[in-house]
Structure 1
Amino acid sequence: MRKILKTTICVFVLIVIFFFTKEASALTLSPIRFEISGNPGDTLQQEITLINETNKAETYSVSYSNFEAQGESGDPAFVAPKDGLGTWIRIESNSIAIPARQQKIIPFTINIPKDADPGGHFAVIFWGTSGGDTSSGVSIGAKTGVLVLLSVNGDVKENAGLLSFNTVGKQFWYSTLPVSFEYRFKNDGGDRIKPQGKIIIHNTVFFPTEYLNANMVEGNILPASTRKFKVDWINYERSKEYVAPTGFFAKFWSDVSYQWKNFAVGFYTARLNVAYGASGEHAKGTAFLFVFPWQLVLVMLVVFIVVFWGGKKVIKRYNKFIIDKNRLNGN
């Protein structure tokens, strides 16, 4: 039992990794997502391009799965297609041979039943070098998948809204950027929705200073689910190879440099404004935060004091020089 469970977990991890990667080491699919609509009874025609990235000929098998939302991260839960969109998709051949470093265009059809329920229907078309049978719900081998998001036209209920918007962990005080925002959106309607809009950052005097894309990943919220979106405000990002200095002064100056490149200081207001749904409804939220880069402020204060004090000394000496010179000329 433990061995079966371990194998199942490994297979799931492989599927997820290859599913969310546009380009796998062996196979590339294009496009990676279809967002289409049709009427009950329609037959839709689409095409997928398969690219064999290996140096040898490969035979790829096709399989289908429905999927639904899993948690709030946007990750899908795959379901064996006993009905629904996974059973409406048809490709002429269950396997296709592609020579090394070559590609082929594969047409497929979606036959929407006349009695199909209006709203969202979601499936994935998997391609892999393993067998195409997924009747057991598990197929051994790495797969690459294409999302199919179908909207069946009709009377579809729309019921969605913003649940929350704030900084991650409701943090208020920051010593520097990045600042991470998150918002949770719930969809109780009959079709997927995709929030589109901005998070606008206003500074202490209420002028807008930054405009952040509220849905950079173009993520959808499936029916009967809640999804969490994360948005980062950052101007400069350290490289992945960056190693923080261990010495006090080295770390201090590294932080000063980073705070300067990500300069932000004072009280900020973040306003979320996104549109969603066919009717273009809007959802809004507000968050507050304070950024105080104390290392940078300390250095700037010291520099100001030195310049101010030094400037006064220079002016004082210059005035004394002029006065002494005038006295000498007067004599």
Structure 2
Amino acid sequence: MPATVSAQQAEGVSITVAPTLIELGLAPGEIWQSSVKVINTNDFPLTIYTQPAHFESVGERGQSNIIPKSQVPEDEVVLANWIDIPEPSITIPPNTSRQVAFVVTAPEVAAPGSHFAALQISTAPPDAQTSSGFSTAQVISSLLFVRVAGDVYESALLRSFTASNSYSTEPRTELALRFENTGNVHVRPVGEILIRNMWGAERGSIPVNINTSFGNALPGMIRTYDFSWQREPSLFDIGRYTAAATLTYGSEAKQFVSAKTSFWVIPVKPLLTVIAIVLGIILFIATVSRWYIRRLLRQAGVTSLKSLSESQPTQVKNELIRQSSDLDLKQTTADTPTKSDWLQRIQITFSHAREVCALLYREARALWRLMSPRAHLVAVAGAVVLLLILWLFVRSQAATSNHAYQATIGLDAQAVTYNSEEIAFFQQPGMSADRLQHDASYSVTFINASPQPGLAGERAAALIDQFPITTLATDATIRTNSVVLFPTDLQDEAIALSEALPGALLSAVPTSTTTIVVYLAEE
């Protein structure tokens, strides 16, 4: 969330307030004075009106209801009634700011725990308010969360942590985390959600309330945090995924809560394609083997495989087992009923397929009996080695495949999507989305071109104070050397950047862009 909030009107009137959230602790009877800064970004003077308001949470997803102080009974012990504004209306010159002072006096009878209010700042006086709110004015708010000392206790639990789907055909899911505050003070859970595949390889990390002052769970309320996660589809993403949420909360003493949920990713189309290819190879090998075995048997004077599958191998019977060539179109036509009923056609097709499979099975058994014990051992050992190689290959691909992913935090209009490198950047101390915004004459893009997850985010956090880094991304192509691509007009900046990245190569590009692109290789 930003440190400032702006309100705009169709006519172009705009005001901004900072900070948007103030948290403090008071003792009963204590007086506290402070102010908020209101910025007039218009080209004309603007009169603003400030009044306290009662703040209450509605629902589980951070919705709120703000009630002006004029509508709150004076004898009610709520924070809005403790606030006094010496100058409720002030005029701000164009493109300047003013401090709006306020005083909070905690009554002696104030209950221990958290109390909530808001400072409503409007472009119209309070008497212009209608039953539906300010109809012609712009209103913004700065929230005030006060913790009154006394018998306070912090207690919470994870009510539930669920995935929206237990099965998906591609690597993506939506997660809902319900956090219940059972104490009498507001808490803000902080942590992350780690997503791993069935091989234990990390496939995503979603931050929860990291580098933000918002996301509080109010006393006696359940706060639901919504997330979504997705990756580019791949056959090697098949398997069971586990999402583990680990959160910490509390200002007096850090407490931990955790929960896990799981879901399956089964890429049906790629899997069916592989199965079809494997079955085709098996059928081809079986057909060629069948032809070769019959050729050898005919040369040996054996007219049937059936005699080899019985206990008297020296006797050759005159009855031959049906060959797959007997299942030709003429035989099918003769056996097929003249009815055009589709069900009977399916039954006949299934019957013929079953006969072919049974024939292949009998001939495979006959071939197995013809083989020596040593050949049996070699065949079994070969199959085991082949399966082991296949298992190791799938596991290695699942553990080292492209690490890029996207995570969305929130729902609908409040949803914000970040890529894996941006999330790695936010997880560094002091980093937030605001740090990726610069007013410099040029910009720098960091692209992770290594198998090391989060490399671009970590490098950006280390160099953000020296260079105007604005974009973080990933590249599917793995590079062995870091490369700095720069327009010729930014040669000095590119050289300075390459010196901060040991081993990075410089490459000039004949373009008029004002962006330096850095491909980062593995350290």
Task: Give me the TM-score of the superposition, normalised by structure 2.
Answer: 0.46
Partner Cα separation in structure 2 for residue 189 and residue 210 of structure 1: 32
Return the match for 2:111 from 100, 108, 117.
Answer: 117
State the match for 2:363 in structure 1.
none
Q: Which aligned pairs between 1:58-207 and structure 2 lie closer than 5 A?
A: 58-79=46-67, 80-82=71-73, 83=76, 84-133=78-127, 139-140=133-134, 141-168=137-164, 171-207=165-201
Query: How far apart are the structure 2 equivalents of 1:64 and 1:178?
Result: 44
Q: Larger RCO: Structure 1 or Structure 2 (Cα < 8 Å, ≥ 6 residues apart)?
A: 1
Provide the secondary structure at the position in 2 that maps to 1:194.
coil
Aligned equivalent of 1:208, options 202, 211, 216: 202
Whole-Å Cα distance in 2 between the matches of residues 66 and 285 of structure 1?
34
The aligned amino acid for 1:211 is S
Tell me, in whole angstroms, the C-alpha distance in 1 between the residues paired with 2:48 and 2:218: 30
Structure 1 residues 40 and 222, CA, compared in 2 at 3 Å: closer, same or farther? same
Q: Which moved more, 1:107-116 or 1:119-128?
A: 107-116
SS of residue paired to 1:86: helix
CA distance in 2, matches of 1:51, 1:91: 18
Q: How far off is 1:134 after superposition?
A: 9.1
Residue correspondence of structure 1 range 1-331 to structure 2 within 5 A:
22-25=5-8, 26-79=14-67, 80-82=71-73, 83=76, 84-133=78-127, 139-140=133-134, 141-168=137-164, 171-215=165-209, 218-234=214-230, 259=233, 264-277=237-250, 278-295=252-269
The alpha carbon displacement at 1:177 in A equals 4.2
Q: Distance in 2 between matches of 1:282 and 1:227?
A: 16
1:209-239 deviation line (CA, Å, top 9, x unaligned): 322112356311111211111122245xxxx
Judged with a 3 Å threshold, the aligned counterparts in structure 2 of structure 1 residues 40 and 264 are, in CA distance, closer, same or farther, namely: farther
**What does the per-residue CA deviation read over 1:168-194, in whole Å, with 9 as the maximum and x for residues that have no partner?**
3xx111223442211112223211111
Task: Note closer, same or farther for the CA distance 1:264–1:37 as it changes in structure 2 (3 Å cut).
Answer: farther
CA-CA distance at 1:137 after TM superposition? 7.3
Q: What do the CA deviations read for 1:123-148 (whole angstroms, capped 9, x no partner)?
A: 01000112125998764233100111
List gaps (5 residues or longer) in structure 1. 1-19, 236-257, 309-331
For the pair shown, the structure with the greater C-alpha radius of gyration is 2
CA contact (8 A) 1:165 1:287 kept: yes
Q: Once the 2 structures are TM-superposed, how far is the Cα of residue 295 of structure 1 from its aligned partner? A: 4.9
Q: What displacement does 1:53 show?
A: 2.2
By percentage of residues, which structure has more helix? 2
The structure-2 alpha-carbon separation of the partners of 1:144 and 1:155, relative to structure 1 and needing over 3 Å to count, comes to: same
List per-residue Cα deviations over 1:55-78 (Å, max 9, x = no partner): 321111112211112111111122
Aligned residues: 260
Q: Report which of the two has the higher share of strand.
A: 1
> Root-mean-square deviation (CA), in Å?
2.9
Take 1:107 and 1:94, find their aligned partners in 2: how far apart are those partners?
A: 9
Which SS does the other structure have where 1:24 is aligned? strand
Shift of 1:165: 0.5
Where in structure 2 are there 5+ consecutive unaligned residues?
9-13, 282-523
Contact 2:7 2:138 in 1 (8 A): no
Q: Does the C-alpha gap of structure 1 residues 165 and 131 become closer, same or farther in structure 2, counting only changes over 3 Å?
A: same
Aligned to 1:240: none
1:202, distance to aligned residue in structure 2 (A): 1.8
Shift of the 52–284 alpha-carbon distance from structure 1 to 2, 3 Å rule, reads: same
How many angstroms apart in 2 are the aligned matches of 1:233 and 1:134? 46
Q: Which amino acid aligns with 1:292?
A: I
